[in-house]
Amino acid sequence: MPSCDPGPGPACLPAKTFRSYLPRCHRTYSCVHCRAHLAKHDELISKSFQGSHGRAYLFNSVLWLLSGFKGEDRKRCPWGFREEMLGSTPALQTEMELEDLQKDLPHYLRNLSSDDADVLVWDVLLLPERSPYNLRAFNVRISFPEDYPMSPPTVTFTTKIYHPNVGDDGQVCLPIISHQNWNPSTKAYQALKALNELVNEPNLAEPLRLELADLLTLDSEKFHSDAEKFTLQFGVPRPS
């Protein structure tokens, strides 16, 4: 895949520069649709466009703004808007993030991959550092929505884990990817880093399994004993 590095440039594009990329109707607020759409998402134009994905993120952001336009409004777009443009950008974004992460995989991750047919789904092996979870490894799946990075990915354990912040179905209560906290500039590697930290240090303020949070609070020795047995039974052998 060719490099998308934009080369040297400012770390942050100001709103004025961002608006210069938009079609004329967006820049002048000459139509009701533009005024409403840009007013609603005005915070997006102040986001930082840093690193090798700056232009890709900018392109995604502009197309996302355009995604709110329908029918005749799209036909008037001076760029010659095409539906397939919107469908391709999340895949491009995740593919670039995947390649970057594979080149410099953190010590707590192994076997990061995606299906060639669907780059919006990643699988990775998590290797926590702290007891009792460091006795085994855990398979994790990251699923990216069709409007990524405007909406957060979901993270699911496909290996059973005895943890207060992970539900019986493998869903994780991870603040960084919650809809309330999500920032479109957040990258998948940051979510995986936060996941590793959460597994090592459970967040008892926001548990998904109250009974485990209560047990850890009231009888940590029994919790760790039960968690160790569970981890040895269901965890994946750690690679050397």
Active centre residues (catalytic): 173
| Closest to 142 measured CA to CA, from 165, 124, 166 | 124
Query: How many angstroms separate the CA atoms of 170 and 187, rounded?
Result: 21
Phi and psi, residue 123, nearest 5°: -125, 140
Phi and psi, residue 201, nearest 5°: -135, 90
Q: What is the DSSP letter of 231?
A: H
The residue type at 234: F
Question: 134-170: buried (b, 16+ CB within 10 Å) or exposed (e) per residue?
Answer: bebbbbbebebeeebbbebbebbbebbbbbbbbeeeb
Count the alpha carbons within 13 Å of 19 in the hemisphere toward its beta carbon: 18
Percentage helix, strand, coil for the chain under 3-state DSSP, each rounded to 5:
45, 15, 40
Contact between 25 and 76 (Cβ < 8 Å): yes
Contact between 174 and 153 (Cβ < 8 Å): no
Query: How many angstroms separate the CA atoms of 1 and 86, rounded?
Result: 20
Which DSSP helix (H) or strand (E) runs through 171? Answer: none
